[in-house]
């Protein structure tokens, strides 16, 4: 599978996974300027910003390591733009979903509260 196909398939699996857990999907691939959030969802009374990382099983590192501090800051800024654009006042959580594809299967992992916004 090509990288863009891998990413798209990973996001589709992540959405299905969240729906099965009872989340409500609000947005997919939400953009603000150069910022993009893969999935914006609600988990009961929380706004959940989800970054999805997908990799082929031959890749040298687990996909969670691709969510660097720089990427986290990018997501925090994008979430702030979404919250302001929609005039929301609710607790926000940042999750990461990783999908690793094998020849005949896949492994999905949901890291609830993967990181927290920090003051800088």
The answer to the question of residue 120 being in a domain is no
Percent of the chain with pLDDT over 90: 69
The answer to the question of residue 100 being in a domain is yes
Instruction: At 42, list the tokens.
Output: 């609600």
The residue range of the domain holding 66 is 3-115
Contacting residues for 30 by C-beta, under 8 A, at least 6 apart: 36, 37, 40, 78, 82
**∠ CA(64), CA(95), CA(73), 5° rounding?**
80
The answer to the question of residue 91 being in a domain is yes
Q: Round to whole Å and give the CA distance between 56 and 63.
A: 9
Give the torsion sign (CA, 12, 16, 18, 22).
positive
The whole-model pTM stands at 0.91
The answer to the question of residue 93 being in a domain is yes
pLDDT at position 34, please?
A: 83
20-56 per-position pLDDT tens digit: 999 999 999 999 888 889 999 999 999 999 999 998 8
How many domains does the chain fold into? 1
pLDDT of 60 strictly over 70: no
The whole-number average pLDDT for the span 74-85 is 94
The answer to the question of residue 61 being in a domain is yes
The answer to the question of residue 64 being in a domain is yes
Confidence of residue 101 (pLDDT cuts 50, 70, 90): very high
pLDDT at position 119, please?
A: 53
**The CATH number of the domain where 66 resides is what?**
3.40.1350.10
Give the torsion sign (CA, 22, 39, 75, 82).
negative
Contacting residues for 46 by C-beta, under 8 A, at least 6 apart: 90, 91, 92, 93
């Amino acid at each position: 599978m090509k990288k863009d196909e891998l990413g798209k398939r990973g996001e589709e699996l992540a959405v299905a996974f969240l729906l099965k857990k009872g989340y409500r999907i609000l947005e997919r691939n939400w953009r603000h300027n150069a910022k993009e959030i893969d999935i914006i969802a609600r988990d009961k009374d929380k706004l959940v910003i989800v970054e999805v990382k997908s990799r082929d099983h031959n890749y040298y590192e687990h996909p969670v390591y691709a969510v660097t501090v720089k990427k986290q800051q990018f997501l925090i800024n994008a979430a702030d733009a979404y919250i302001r654009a929609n005039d929301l006042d609710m607790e926000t959580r940042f999750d990461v979903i990783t999908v690793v594809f094998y020849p005949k299967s896949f492994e999905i992992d949901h890291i609830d509260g993967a990181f927290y916004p920090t003051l800088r």
